[in-house]
Amino acid sequence: MKPQLEKELLIKYPKLFRQHGLSPQETCMCWGIECGDGWFTLLNTLCHLIRHHVDWKQKKDPEFNVEFSQIKEKFGTLRVYANGIDSYVEGLIAMAEAMSSNICERCGNPGKVRNRGWIQTLCDGCEEANRKEVPSNDD
């Protein structure tokens, strides 16, 4: 993800990204958000929903907290790992991960999972650009 987009999420949701900047011995969040810009809106929405839930739940349980430990692409879809989650946040994460298989990781347009050696979720336009950048053995 572009640094300016990542920074926007870090500023907007500092409690969720508390592990960002820690050492690799402490968290995988040290490498930042490891996915394409196309999933920015999906991640922003996920963060908003989690923050809203955490704020609501902390009224009853001030100790409740959620922190991301890793956000990345794996096998063409989003993967979000977090500490302190409950079943509601687990469901939000599962939903975002599932939705990512229909959103182009590069540009955010509707896409589908494609396998040309490296599994990615891309729209037709980004797939065509990818084909030109990295020809497959079949070409």
Q: What is the pLDDT of residues 35-56, one digit of tens each?
A: 999 999 999 999 999 999 999 9
Strand order in the sheet with 33-34: 33-34, 67-74, 77-83
Domain that holds residue 14: 3-102
Q: Is residue 124 part of a domain?
A: no
Q: Is residue 120 part of a domain?
A: no
Q: Is residue 109 part of a domain?
A: no
List, for residues 62-116, the tens digit of each pLDDT value.
999 999 999 999 999 999 999 999 999 999 999 999 999 999 999 999 999 999 8
Q: Is residue 122 part of a domain?
A: no
pTM of full prediction above 0.85:
yes
d(CA 62, CA 48): 19
Q: Is residue 58 part of a domain?
A: yes
When divided into structural domains, the chain yields a total of 1
